[in-house]
Amino acid sequence: MQNLYYEVGSLDKRCYEKFSLTEDLLMEHAASNIQEEIEKRFKKGSSVLIVCGSGNNGADGIALARLLYKKYEVKLYIAFELKSKMAKLQLQRAELLGLKTVDELSSCDVVVDCLFGTGLNKDLDRVSQELIENLNGFDSFKIACDIPSGINPKGEITTTAFFADLTVTMGALKQALYSDMAKDYIGEVKVANLGVQREVYEIQTNVFLLDKGDLKLPLRDKKDAHKGSFGHLNVIAGCKKGAGVIAAKAAFGFGAGLVSVICHDNIDLPYHIMQTHKLAQNCTAIAIGMGLGLYDEKEIKEILNTNLPMIIDADLFHENITLNILEKEVVLTPHPKEFCSLLKLCNLADIKVEELQRDRFFYVKEFCKKYPKVVLLLKGANVLIAQKDKIYVNPLGSAVLSKGGSGDVLSGLVGALLAQGYSAIDAAIHASLAHTIAASNYKKNNYSLIPSDLIEEVKKL
């Protein structure tokens, strides 16, 4: 698990004031980190185009050009008149070495984007857009300095952005790198050491990036156990019964000792999954909402009013009865459209999906501020899991999961962990990690996954 920050300018300032590190020194380390990445990947004599803006991101690029000069064929392109003192100083140093700038863009083995960085605070003008589009058109290995140009601090891309194969971000990870919009642009992400280790550079934060190593599986280390030792999940199946069946199968495959599907119509279930018409007396958790459709409101209210751990999904995010349970510690797993509906129900915001996607972190924080007991798992290219003032980002999702039934599998995984005694936040985190890691392990064509494939991959973790 790694820390995430909205901005790191305050962390740079802390280095100047507390550790007597200078802006110049941090910049040298920033440039040398990109230098190391290039030297690891490309042999001596390879061509490197470095495209620089007018500010300190451009200054990083000019310093990089100086560090690579003579070992590589360096083409330094200054896109705009330099404004920052550091950029002017770095260019003076480069020119004293004999390094000359170029007036035209040309395809090289490596293209380094040092145009705007995290300081972008307005839409790109047409000249900048055309410049970035030209760079994107080159058949080169593309590196972004700090953040791909065109992505603003919220992670928005309002016009266009640089497509990076590698982003070397300075000092610490930024939230903007993990917006859904940014996912296709950032490539591999490396954090540059700016003169002190990250443990020194970073300070406390409430936003975290999850890694594969954070997954804790419900492995059974107790020999004196029976099926009841691992919980009994009750899955409420509605009009679209397949959704409930998928969730039940996923839950059984993820360690729940017993799984029952509650449905008034007889349905075809595997022999190891039970069917019942009401909550079991030994039920330890409930999964509800998947494919629910039309329902008996009185019956659903009775289920929601229980004090059992609960995962709520899908259709219930459009219903007012959901508001009654938001004072409890329940897990909600909406996709963006469902979350917009939920925000409207809660009188927090009346927005469309596009607006939500432009600032997912903000709306998640607002919801959790109003309902601090709830664990919210907002689905997306990057999953946001939040409770109270803490947000956890799962960046491991992929287009493999963009299939009907994938969300029902996730509901079953969360329900299985709740049934086995995981806290609501831990159930959401570890179910989400298992869900995305299992999808990444799927070896067939990425368009072909079906829910049973995903469940089988979960079993192999």
pLDDT tens-digit series, residues 183-218: 999 999 999 999 999 999 999 999 999 999 999 999
Q: What band does 10 get if pLDDT is binned at 50, 70 and 90?
A: very high
- In this structure, what token pair is assigned to residue 286? 């409930």
Is 22 annotated as contributing to ligand binding?
no
Do 361 and 222 fall within a single domain?
Answer: yes
Q: What is the DSSP string of 277-340?
A: SS--TT--EEEE-TT--S--HHHHHHHHTS-S-EEE-GGGGG-GGGGGGTTS--EE---HHHHH
Give the residue-averaged pLDDT of 95-122: 91
Whether residue 409 sits in one domain with residue 300: yes
**149 assigned to a ligand binding site:** yes
Helix and strand numbers (H, E) in the chain are: 14, 18
Q: How many residues does the chain have?
A: 461
Same domain for 299 and 200: no
- Asked if residue 84 belongs to a known ligand binding site, the reply is no
User: Same structural domain for residues 175 and 218?
Assistant: no
442 token code pair: 């799927």
Q: Quick check: helix, strand or coil at residue 77? A: strand
Q: Which domain holds residue 82?
A: 2-204
Sheet hosting strand 110-114, strand order edge to edge = 73-78, 47-52, 110-114, 141-145, 166-170, 188-192
Q: Is 59 annotated as a binding residue?
A: yes
Domain count across the chain: 2
What pLDDT does 5 receive?
96
Is 172 annotated to bind a ligand? Reply is no
Q: Under DSSP, is residue 406 helix (H, G, I), strand (E, B) or coil?
A: helix
Q: What percent of the chain has pLDDT over 90?
A: 85
- Is residue 46 marked as binding? no
Q: How do residues 315-359 score in pLDDT, each as one tens digit?
A: 888 878 888 889 999 999 999 999 999 999 999 999 999 999 999
Same domain, 228 and 195: no
282-288 mean pLDDT:
95
Torsion angles phi and psi, residue 113, rounded to 5: -90, 110
Provide the sign of the torsion angle of the four alpha carbons 56, 60, 66, 70, taken in this order.
negative
| DSSP β-bridge partners for residue 391 | 207, 386
Q: Which residues of 367-378 are buried (b: 16+ CB within 10 A; e: fewer)?
A: bbeebeebbbbb
Pairing of strands 331-332, 375-378: parallel
Question: Average pLDDT over the chain, rounded to whole?
Answer: 94
Q: Is residue 198 domain-shared with residue 292, that is, in the same domain?
A: no
- pLDDT attached to residue 26: 95
Q: Is 234 assigned to a binding site?
A: no
Q: Does residue 193 have a known ligand-binding role?
A: no
Last residue of a domain, one of 152, 173, 204: 204
Alpha-carbon distance of 405 to 448, in angstroms, equals: 13
**What DSSP line would sit under 221-241, residue for residue?**
--SS--GGGG-EEEEE--SSH
| Shared-domain flag, residues 217 and 113 | no
120 assigned binding-site residue: yes
pLDDT at 240: 87
Instruction: Say whether 57 counts as a known binding-site residue.
Output: yes
Tell me, yes or no, whether 317 and 361 share the same domain. Answer: yes
Asked if residue 117 belongs to a known ligand binding site, the reply is yes
pLDDT of residue 225: 87
- 231 with 346, same domain: the answer is yes
Residue where a domain stops, chosen among 176, 204, 232: 204
Question: For the whole model, what pTM was predicted?
Answer: 0.94
Residues 261 and 348 in one domain: yes
Residue 58 annotated as lining a ligand binding site: yes
| CA-only gyration radius of the chain, Å | 25
Q: Residue 347: helix, strand or coil by DSSP?
A: coil
Give the domain CATH number at 239.
Answer: 3.40.1190.20
Residue 158 CB-density burial (10 A; 0-12 exposed, 13-18 middle, 19+ buried): middle
pLDDT tens digits for 11-48?
999 999 999 999 999 999 999 999 999 999 999 999 99
Confirm whether residue 167 is marked as ligand binding: no
Query: What's the mean pLDDT in 249-272?
Result: 92
Which pLDDT tens digit goes with each residue over 429-446? 999 999 999 999 999 999
Looking at 178, 204, 230, the residue that finishes a domain is 204
113 among the known binding-site residues? yes
Q: How confident is the model at residue 294 (pLDDT cuts 50, 70, 90)?
A: low
For residue 68, pLDDT over 90 is answered with yes
According to the annotation, is 118 in a ligand binding site?
yes
**DSSP assignment of 89-149, as one string?**
HHHHHHHHHT--B-SS----SEEEEES-GGG--SPPPHHHHHHHHHHHTS-SEEEEESS-T
**Do the annotations mark residue 289 as ligand-binding?**
no
Task: Please tell me whether residues 196 and 220 are part of one structural domain.
Answer: no
Q: Which residues contact 390 (CB under 8 A, 6 or more apart)?
A: 206, 207, 208
pLDDT (tens digit per residue) in 119-170: 788 888 999 999 999 999 999 999 999 999 999 999 999 899 999 999 999 9
pLDDT in tens, 227-258: 888 999 999 988 888 999 999 999 999 999 99
CATH of the domain at 156: 3.40.50.10260
Q: Are residues 59 and 164 in the same domain?
A: yes
